[in-house]
Structure 1
Amino acid sequence: MFSAFTRLSLVTRIIIAIILGVLVAVVAPGVAPYLSLLGDLFIKALKSVAPILVFVLVLSSIANFKVGSSNAYIKPIMLMYALGMFFAALSAVIASIFFPSTLILDVAAENLVPPGSLAEILKNLLLSFVANPVTAISEANFIGILAWAVALGIAFRHASDTTKSFLSDAAEAVNKVIRLVINFAPIGIFGLVAVTFADSGLKTLVSYAHLLAVLIGTMFFVALVINPMMVAFMTRSNPFPLVFQCLRESGITAFFTRSSAANIPVNLDLAKRLGVPESTASVAIPLGAAINMAGASVTITVLTLATVNTLGISVDFTTMLILSVVATVSSCGASGVAGGSLLLIPVACGLFGISSDIAMQVVAIGMVISVLQDSTETALNSSTDVLFTAAVDRGLR
């Protein structure tokens, strides 16, 4: 039975884990506290691997980025990618204002010292940027980790091919460790769901349903409103035929594969049929699969603001704009594995002085709802790759 279970897809295993966790909470609530160790181990594993993940993946991504491309279309495509992610994060901010979400967290209130003003937030942000890199990794200071990864990545851009190859191999090794940890997600989620439902009952289900509705609703808004507006501006024509074709032929496939990288061949074929030159598509599509993560921007922003609401931290709109920028930059470093964007939530949480312990609880909640959230996120990410590539090609021609 165990062998048959491990052969199932991760989505199927998570669904089974959620159902079993709810059943245990309803039928035998007295057993649930003993299962808390499973959830604690899973959160601890995430907490341990996340700092290394952010540091190595962002460093390798920047160091191996190909500079000096002669293709005139790549720069505007990259600009579309960047603007798309920022507008997606901004849409998530607005959605969180009108439909605020809260989470059920195990918070030690006496250990929480939220920032009192924008000046304090900016001060903490600047101090985090200049933290010692070893200390930043050991203390899970994700802002400092991100700053050092970007700085070293830029420094390594002109390193030898051997060095860049080593960095790529290191990133792949970290990805394999992440895949191993996430393969244990169903077990950890089983323990988390059992304990949470036994303690809070249907209140948890309502919280998760509301959070999922805000996430998916925002992603649909980006796909059907923000992206068409950007495409219309670029092509000076009706954007919806192209938008719907990309969603139908790329988004649906990506929804079920849950991998932008696995969807690259689909996008290359679609780009070819849309008339995009191979010299453009062969660079822009793989580049988009690596760094164009509008769905991840939405996920990081919504879950971070839900955490902020839960902890009662007051946030003004200027801080939310800063969060949008942080979410945009963080999204570029999202791992290619299922649920990879969730592991970057601590980066955004660090903007508000939220501890790594609390941030990892939020990551675990994200894993619970990832059955639908991650599939929708990947569909938005991957379909946007080919959409913006085709839009820039049509606009410039």
Structure 2
Amino acid sequence: MGLTTRILLAMLLGIVVGVLFNFLSASQLLGSGVTGAIDIYLVDGLFDIAGRIFIASLKLMVVPLVLVSLICGACALSEGSRVGVLAVKTTMLYLLTTAAAITLALLMGTLFQPGEGMEGLVAGEATYEAPPSPSLKDVVINIFPTNPVEAMAAGNMLQIIVFALLMGYAVSRSGEPGRRIASFFNDLNDVIMRMVGVLMVFAPYGVFALLAKLFAQLGVDAIVQLGKYFLVVLATLLLHALGVYSLLLKLFSGLNPVELIKKMRPAMVFAFSTASSAATIPVTLATVEKRLGVDNKVAAFTVPLGATINMDGTAIMQGVATVFFAQMYGIDIGLSGYLMVILTATLASVGTAGVPGVGLIMLAMVLQQVGLPLEGIGIILGVDRLLDMVRTAVNITGDSVVSAIVAKSEGALSEETFNDRNYDSAANGGGMTVSGQYRASNG
């Protein structure tokens, strides 16, 4: 069985087991003693331990993988002086997709009106205190690291990207010493990718544990009460991922969107399971390079940057939530208000990058700009965890689309690899081969 199939099977089994445990706990069919033991020893015990260890292992790979890959990529790019062009193309595409996402969300919210008839929720006790958002001045200053070791210890992606680009540029301009250092980093990059491949052996177990624990604890009351809001956000996320991204990929590169979606399935499952674009970077980067054929010198830049500033899924949540709150509170923000939402959410996707709880900070900023009560955020928190998983999968899909478009424009895309429909076949080792022809079946 290929690794991709094993991961998908683990995801489905995790959801089924989690829902079953949730039902048994709520119905008390097995008695309080048995359900209590299940919660303590399985849900909060074995599943929690396995899931946390898996997430920790993924995060372990993020900083060394991003740093080394980006230094290698910057060395290659600097030889042709393409760093600036690549940065502009990538950033503009990410801003374009975010603006398209928030616009689509506002249209869907206006069309289906998820907040109509929800006035009763306003009288509830839901509260939310917005965390402080950084100023534009602080955002610009904090992009540049004062201590690269501190930036790596904190996992500050923007600062790591800046440091890696500077180092890669310096290495490419240092003659023979630079060539020796570049050779070392290229070898180190191969070793780190092999480490990612080893980690993938345990991926199905980690995915199962994460989803089993989540769905065992996820109550359905909030989803039922906010069903219309939930469905509108979910439909918009799927429409953006399958429609807008496909259109952009075909328009700007001529590549087949269906092939990209098929080959990104493993990374999507990881993103859904972890609800973290940053934790999924090792898998996304490996998938984009090995399955889509994007050259490392492009992927090493576009994927980490996308995980940091590409907030399409969050932008969709903000757009639908804004319309939802406006309808629920009976406040007409008008056309100018909606235009302000598009502008604020697009710029905030870069401005709040790397800040913990970034999605809620961005939503608070948007609501403040159009004069909607922040207390409404507390109402949607009950269903936000599940939606967060879906929008993370959407975000990494956007990262792969932008990576493919930029690579195609730079002549750094292997179309033979991209169009290879037998990549998942048994002859090629099955599943997601993240390090050469790595065989998941034999480790």
TM range (shorter): 0.5 to 0.7
Instruction: Supply the AA of the counterpart residue of 2:298.
Output: T
Matched, 1:375 2:360: no
Q: Give the structure 2 partner of residue 387 of structure 1.
A: 401
Q: Give the structure 1 partner of residue 327 of structure 2.
A: 309
Shift of 1:223: 0.9
Q: Give the structure 2 partner of residue 84 of structure 1.
A: 97
Shift of 1:290: 1.2
Shift of 1:157: 4.5
Among the aligned pairs, what percent are the same residue?
Answer: 21
Q: Give the structure 2 partner of residue 125 of structure 1.
A: none
Q: Distance in 1 between matches of 2:155 and 2:259?
A: 38
Q: Give the structure 2 partner of residue 344 of structure 1.
A: 362
Shift of 1:318: 2.8
Instruction: Supply the AA of the counterpart residue of 2:295.
Output: P
Q: Give the structure 2 partner of residue 154 of structure 1.
A: 140
Q: Distance in 2 between matches of 1:91 and 1:221?
A: 9
SS at match of 2:277: coil
TM-score w.r.t. length of structure 2:
0.54
Shift of 1:251: 1.7
1:254 paired residue among 261, 265, 271:
271
Shift of 1:389: 0.3
> CA RMSD, aligned part only?
4.1
Assess if the C-alpha contact under 8 Å between 2:264 and 2:287 holds in 1. Answer: no
1:296 paired residue among 298, 314, 320:
314
SS at match of 1:259: coil
Q: Distance in 1 between matches of 2:346 and 2:312?
A: 8
Please, which runs of 5 or more residues in structure 1 have no aligned partner? Answer: 1-9, 25-65, 109-138, 173-184, 198-203
Q: Distance in 2 between matches of 1:209 and 1:228?
A: 28
Assess if the C-alpha contact under 8 Å between 1:189 and 1:368 holds in 2. Answer: no
- Please, which moves more after superposition, 253-262 or 208-217? 253-262
Q: Give the structure 1 partner of residue 243 of structure 2.
A: 225
Count of matched residue positions in the alignment of Structure 1 and Structure 2: 286
Shift of 1:313: 0.6
Q: Give the structure 2 partner of residue 321 of structure 1.
A: 339
Q: 1:395 to 1:293 in 2, by over 3 A?
A: same
- The one-character-per-residue Cα deviations of 1:117-154 (angstroms, maximum 9, x if unpaired) are xxxxxxxxxxxxxxxxxxxxxx9677xx5462x21232
Q: Give the structure 2 partner of residue 353 of structure 1.
A: 371
* Largest Rg, 1 or 2: 2
| Residues 102-251 of structure 1: pairs in structure 2 closer than 5 A | 102=115, 103=118, 104-107=120-123, 145-146=132-133, 148=135, 150-157=136-143, 160-161=146-147, 165=150, 169=154, 206-235=224-253, 237-251=254-268
Q: Give the structure 2 partner of residue 99 of structure 1.
A: 112
- The one-character-per-residue Cα deviations of 1:312-346 (angstroms, maximum 9, x if unpaired) are 01122232121022222333436687x75245322
- The one-character-per-residue Cα deviations of 1:25-47 (angstroms, maximum 9, x if unpaired) are xxxxxxxxxxxxxxxxxxxxxxx
Shift of 1:283: 1.7
Matched, 1:366 2:381: yes
SS at match of 2:121: coil
Q: Distance in 2 between matches of 1:350 and 1:395?
A: 39
Q: Distance in 2 between matches of 1:229 and 1:21?
A: 45
SS at match of 1:260: coil
Q: Distance in 2 between matches of 1:335 and 1:107?
A: 34
Q: 1:21 to 1:74 in 2, by over 3 A?
A: farther
Please, which runs of 5 or more residues in structure 2 have no aligned partner? Answer: 1-13, 29-70, 158-213, 412-443
Instruction: Supply the AA of the counterpart residue of 1:256.
Output: S
